[in-house]
Amino acid sequence: MNLKSTIQEFCFDEDCIKILVPDFENLQSEKENDNNRVVPFWAKLWPSSIALCTYLMRHKNLLLHKNVWELGAGLGLPSLYAAHFAKHVVCSDYDNHAVAMSAASAKLNNFSNIICRHFDWKQSFDEINTDCVLLSDINYDPSDFKFLLALLKSLIEKDIKIVLSTPQRLMAKPFVEQLLAFCVDKTTIPVKTSNNTVEIFIMRLEKQS
């Protein structure tokens, strides 16, 4: 997939990030010319990733001098923000195009403490050994909820902190409710888009003593 991209800049307080974003109109045009093409989820900057960065801005202690791993990172905005403060960041996604795009953004920002790599959390998560895991809008497919819940519980059991950012989808309510027992902080962050304002739900999950 040969993608044209533009550079967008996001600032959270005084910390700014330049991120490469694929030309979505170009992708849509390709889709219209080929019925087999679909616009990949990773190719869009979702409000959940912006809300996650806003939450991390308010809780920098989760990142400062820590090892951080983002799962299903897509364009990797939270990973790039975390790289301002973290000791080491793994920005991972199952799609190699997403990995290449986020790696290019990391290079654009001159970050040397971030690795962008292919990783499918549906296949294996035993190797995840870090202080904090970030997940942005990853719980959109109900068929994944059972596995995702097992993944999160496994990470929590290893005493890994988790920050989950998600739109308030009705179909995901039962999934979210199963995580409340591990929730130490929750909040809603509004994110303005070109069309409206989206309310994004943030949960911080930790092992209970």
Would you place residue 2 in the very low, low, confident or very high pLDDT band (cuts 50, 70, 90)?
Answer: low
3-state secondary structure of 116: strand
3-state secondary structure of 51: helix
The listed range with the strongest mean pLDDT (28-42, 44-58, 145-159, 167-181) is 44-58
Give the per-residue pLDDT at 63: 98
Q: Please check whether residue 45 is in contact with residue 75, taking contact to mean a CB–CB distance below 8 angstroms.
A: yes
Domains observed in the chain: 44-205 (3.40.50.150)
Give the per-residue pLDDT at 24: 62
Residue 197 confidence (pLDDT) above 50: yes
Higher pLDDT, 37 or 195: 195
pLDDT tens column, 128-137: 999 999 999 9
Give the per-residue pLDDT at 25: 61
Give the per-residue pLDDT at 138: 86
Q: Please check whether residue 169 is in contact with residue 176, taking contact to mean a CB–CB distance below 8 angstroms.
A: no
pLDDT tens column, 48-79: 999 999 999 999 999 999 999 999 999 999 99
The sign one gets for the Cα dihedral 178, 184, 190, 194 is: negative
Q: Which of 104, 114, 48, 117 is nearest to 81 (CA)?
A: 114
The DSSP bridge pattern shows strands 183-192 and 197-205 to be antiparallel
Higher pLDDT, 79 or 167: 79
Residue 46 confidence (pLDDT) above 90: yes
Residue 6 confidence (pLDDT) above 80: yes
Average pLDDT over residues 133-142: 88
Give the per-residue pLDDT at 38: 64
CA distance 56 to 190: 15
Neighbours of 62 (CB within 10 A): 20
Give the per-residue pLDDT at 29: 47
Q: Is 174 exposed, middle or buried (0-12, 13-18, 19+ CB in 10 A)?
A: exposed
